[in-house]
Amino acid sequence: MAQTQRRMIYTKLWTSEQFSKLPDRGKLLYIGMITLADDDGRLIANPAYLRGQIFTYDDISVLDVLNLRDIIERTGLIAVYKINDSEYIEHPNWEEYQIIRSDLYIPSRFPARNGTVTEPLQKRDTSKDKISKDKIREDILFNEFWSLYPKKTGKKKTEELWKKLDMESQSKILEDIPKRMNDEKWKGGFIKDPERYIKHEQWNDEIKESKVGAKVGYIDLNKK
């Protein structure tokens, strides 16, 4: 069984100004990124992957992890880059803070920021145009919306409408859907097609909570 290198969390991290500015979950995410990095200080940057690895039992969305990852990047603690439609993270000054034993060293499978791969798994064409971070964010947010929305019809037209929304509206929608699950209309099965939900800006509608406690089989905790 192959041995692996230990990851060091230096005590000076706790007095780092960059680290201190992160929200609590951002600090946890950053420490998790250190533990997940390979011997060259690289790891997958996909927020869905990071959520699954670091927040396995926590109630946190992919969007939240994406936002935290971007906050960490802005501090300079990590570098996020994209090659051939895949995003990666690289820890700056990795070798300065990690003791890499040569007899245990395993070359990275992931490309460096300049496109080179220490140990290529397959041929990579680094001349392809890179997708912008905005495009990646847009795809992630729509996929999050589609997974949350209870009715799955007209995906193509819905995505076209989604792309026309500003970031604030998209964020409001992702916050609205879990709350709207208790709306009396949705509870009654009157859920608009996702295309109409966006077109009619239903996320701005008042939520009238269904009084499920009055139904047989439920206990109304509000009843005195």
* Token pair in block for residue 22: 């992160």
Across-strand partners of 44? 88
Average the pLDDT over each of 11-20, 44-53, 61-70, 168-177 and give the range with the smallest value: 168-177
* Token pair in block for residue 135: 């495009």
Report pLDDT for 97.
Answer: 81
Pairing state between β 79-83 and 42-44: unpaired
> Which ranges of 91-132 would DSSP assign to H, the alpha helix?
94-97
Report pLDDT for 12.
Answer: 86
- 1-130, what's its fold? Arc Repressor Mutant, subunit A (1.10.10)
> Which are the contacts of 53, defined by CB distance < 8 A and separation ≥ 6?
32, 36
* Residue 158 or residue 220, greater confidence: 158
State how far the Cα of 22 lies from the Cα of 138, in Å rounded to an integer: 24
pLDDT in tens, 7-31: 778 888 899 999 999 999 999 999 9
Share of the chain above pLDDT 90, in %: 31
Report pLDDT for 118.
Answer: 52
Give pTM, 2 decimals. 0.55
| Residue 119 pLDDT level (bands cut at 50, 70, 90) | very low
State how far the Cα of 88 lies from the Cα of 193, in Å rounded to an integer: 36
pLDDT in tens, 158-200: 999 998 888 778 878 888 888 888 888 888 788 889 999 999 9
In the chain, which residues fall in CATH 1.10.10? 1-130
Checking phi first, is residue 189 left (phi over 0); if not, alpha (psi -120 to 50) or beta?
left
* Residue 211 or residue 52, greater confidence: 52
Averaged pLDDT of the chain: 80
Is the pLDDT confidence value at 212 over 60?
A: no
* Residue 120 or residue 154, greater confidence: 154
